């Protein structure tokens, strides 16, 4: 039987340029050494490894990337970014992809803790220009559903003891503090359309 040759894989420069324009990250610099993936602590829970996410972007398969679980599994620990010999900020790329998926209304895994943290963190920055740790922790626990799980397993008391220890050492403020140029920071955040949509978000 006559065999037909597979079509050669080609770099989809339009998408690579779009990513670079939005983030300053040059995915075309990747030469697939996989150092990012080999250092990532969360590959066991990913459907695509970090180097594969970069590869898929280079091949123009944006929809596949935006629907992947990987972008919501990534905890932004930056190990991959530190290890990349070509200075590709893969953690920053994952953050951008989270925002892009959210902007397009692509459904996240329900109750996803990374998504919950992403939301409450950006909401806090948009509101005050900086994070209020005590409030962020409470909202994260409620939004992610961890509050209930911790109550059921009894691990909440350990968290409360740690919170008290931090508070008594003045490491956890009781009241929020804003910054001078809140409006400037808010306008930067509002360019990320997902950031301000806390109410009525059906995916958490």
- Which residues contribute to the site for ligand SF4 (CB under 6 A)? 30-36, 39-40, 42, 50-51, 54, 74-80, 83-86, 88, 90-91, 94
Tokens representing 149?
């799980």
Q: Using H for helix, E for strand and C for coil, what is the string for 126-187? A: HHHCCCCHHHHHHHHHHHHCHHHHHHHHCCHHHHHHHHHHHHHCCCCCCCCCCCCCHHHHHH
| Residue with Cβ nearer ligand SF4 (32 or 187) | 32
CB of 102 to ligand SF4, least distance (A): 17
Phi, psi dihedral angles at 130 (to 5 degrees)? -155, 165
| Residue with Cβ nearer ligand SF4 (27 or 185) | 27
CB of 94 to ligand SF4, least distance (A): 5
| Residue with Cβ nearer ligand SF4 (16 or 80) | 80
CB of 104 to ligand SF4, least distance (A): 21
Q: Contact, 201 vs 129, CB < 8 A? A: no
Give the separation between CA 54 and CA 20, rounded to whole angstroms: 12
| Residue with Cβ nearer ligand SF4 (117 or 147) | 117
CB of 204 to ligand SF4, least distance (A): 20
């Amino acid at each position: 039987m006559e065999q037909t040759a597979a079509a050669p894989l080609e770099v989809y420069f339009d998408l690579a340029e779009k990513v670079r324009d939005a983030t300053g990250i040059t995915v075309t610099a990747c030469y697939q050494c996989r150092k990012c993936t080999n250092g990532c602590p969360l590959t066991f829970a990913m459907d695509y490894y970090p180097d594969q996410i970069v590869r898929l972007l280079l091949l123009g398969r944006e929809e596949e990337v935006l629907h992947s679980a990987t972008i919501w599994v990534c905890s932004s620990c930056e190990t991959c970014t530190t290890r990349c010999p070509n200075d590709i900020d893969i953690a920053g790329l994952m953050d951008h992809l989270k925002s892009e998926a959210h902007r397009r209304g692509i459904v996240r895994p329900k109750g996803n803790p990374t998504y919950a943290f992403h939301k409450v963190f950006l909401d806090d920055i948009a509101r005050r220009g900086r994070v209020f740790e005590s409030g962020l922790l409470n909202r994260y626990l409620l939004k992610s559903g961890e509050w209930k799980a911790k109550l059921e397993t009894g691990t909440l008391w350990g968290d409360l003891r740690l919170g008290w220890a931090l508070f008594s050492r003045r490491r956890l403020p009781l009241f929020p503090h804003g910054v001078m140029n809140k409006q400037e920071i808010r306008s930067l955040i509002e360019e990320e359309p997902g950031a301000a949509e806390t109410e009525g978000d059906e995916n958490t």
